[in-house]
Every structure is written in structure tokens, then in C-alpha cells.
Homo-oligomer: A and B are copies of this chain.
Amino acid sequence: MKILLQFPEGLKQHALEYAKKLEEGGDEVIISASPTFGACDLALDEARKIGADKLIHFGHAEFMHVDFNVEYVEYKIDASLELLPKSLDYLKAYNKIGIVTTVQHVHQLEDIKRFYEQHGKEVFIGKPYGFARHDGQILGCDVGSAARINEMVDAFVYFGGGLFHPVGALLATTKPFLVVEPFANRIDFIDSYREAYKKRSKGRILSALYAKSFGILVSTKNGQYNMALAKIIKDRITKDGLNAAILVSNTFDFDSLNNMMEIDAFVNTACPRLVTEDDERLRKPLTCLQYIRL
């Protein structure tokens, strides 16, 4: 069988090892070297181009059904829980705690919950909006597990790697937000990002007010493609006598967008995190409308 393997960035270091195992079993194996942002971002174009019989996608659960033979291999990591006792020092003032994590650590949530309960906390685990699969799990585009329990809790705890995931949840909530990062061995409240982001967001919206030409971003990624929404946005803009064009790409290149000198403001219908992660790489404001699902 001809198989294309796709790994998120953190797992690409094990790609050859895994390919070798499959080849020893008689399969023909090719590895996608493209960046991968989630199960919304399957390497389907590559799989079709090389004539693969199957795509094996590592590190994420299924996001949506696609018309291709895809095997999803979730990747669980048993991260050290050693930081939890120290995290209690940060949580003294808060009794009701909402806990969230990424798919890699979802299986550790029960242990984390038990730990905090044993230390007198009331622990809440929310349900995702729908793209994430597990209670307490957050994705770049689904922070329901945090947002839905915002009113019930005094503070949030994110357990896991990096800042990409907790920042998404932070922006959809209003309570103190503690990150417990077992890989970098750090514990920090990240609430200051909330204010900084709001200021930037306001600035973007204000500077888009005088735009005459809009570029509406549509990603061709399987789980981000939203041409229907883009067309509605374009119609509304052009009805106001302004200029608009729909711009497609798989992974948007910010140099290429910046080369479109006629455009005064961009509107995003792709991954919502483009706006929080990448807007500073654009010379023109980028606003986000992808939450409207049509």
C-alpha cells in the first residue's frame, strides 16, 4: 500500500523512524514535509498527487469527514504532574477551578481533577463546542471547554505545552488564567495577553474603518474552507460600493498577501488563530469572521 504520513511540527522528529517501521511491513511510504496545523489541515492535495492509497495523520483526532482514506493516530503524552503542588500557591484565592488541556493530555485530566479536589478545590471540566472531541480539550478553533464554564469558575488552569492553545481559551474567557507547562517547567498567569490582544484588536478594527478594498481569505484546507461565507462577505462589501476580492491559498503566505498592495484590509474566514497569531506579519489589518458558520 502507498501511504503518505503527516505529522504536526512537534512529531516530525519521529517521522523517519515511523516510516521505516511501515516499510519493513512492505508498504511504500512517503512523508509530508508541509507544516500541519491540525486535523483541519490534512495533506489531501499531496496524497492525491502522489497517488497514495491512505493518509496517516498523527497527533490529532478526526475533525470532519473527508472523501479520502485517512487514518488518525492520536498521540498521548504522559506529562509530568510534578508542577501541580506548586500551582496551588498561585490558586490560593480561587476555589472553583476550570481545567483545560490539549488532546495529548486529555487522558491525564481525571488525575489532575482528583489532585485539585484532594486539595479542596471544586473542579469543572467543560464540553467543547464540537470541533474538539473530548471534555476539557481545547483546539485553536474550539475553546468551548473553557468558554462554556466561564461563569461557573473563579479561575482557569491550562495544563500542557506552549501558549498557542491557552491563549485561544484566554481570549474567550474573563477569569484569571493560569498556565501549568510541564515541558518548560513553568507556571504563569497569562492574563496580560488578554488586554494586549484587545488593544491590538481594537486598533485593527479602527484602521479597517477607512478601507476601500478588502481581501477575503479562504483557505483550501479541508477543515477551514468556507467559500460560502466569503461570498456573502464579498456581496455585502460590494453592495456598499467598496471593492472586494476572495483570496485563496492553502497556508497563507504573509509576504504574498503584503504584495497585494491594492488591499486596505483583510477579512479572515480560515483558521481563527490567523488573527491572533499572525496579524502582525501583515501590513494591513486582518479581521476575523470565521465564527459565522453558514
B15 and A245 form a contact (CB under 8 A): yes
Decide if the interface of chain A is mainly helix, strand, loop or mixed. Answer: mixed
Interface status of A217 (Cβ within 8 A of chain B): yes
Interface status of A246 (Cβ within 8 A of chain B): yes
Interface status of A69 (Cβ within 8 A of chain B): no
Interface status of A207 (Cβ within 8 A of chain B): no
B248 and A46 form a contact (CB under 8 A): yes
Bound: A29/B246 CA distance, A: 8
Bound: A255/B253 CA distance, A: 14
A243 and B12 form a contact (CB under 8 A): no
Minimal beta-carbon separation of A4 from chain B (angstroms): 7
Interface status of A33 (Cβ within 8 A of chain B): yes
With A225-B49, A227-B50 already in contact, the answer to whether A248 and B13 are too (CB < 8 A) is no
Q: Which residues of A are interface residues toward B (Cβ below 8 A)?
A: 4, 9-10, 12-17, 19-20, 29-35, 45-46, 49-50, 213, 215, 217-218, 220, 225, 227, 243, 245-253, 255-257, 259-263
Could you name 8 residue pairs across A and B whose Cβ atoms are closer than 8 Å? A12-B261, A16-B243, A33-B248, A45-B49, A46-B220, A46-B250, A49-B248, A50-B218
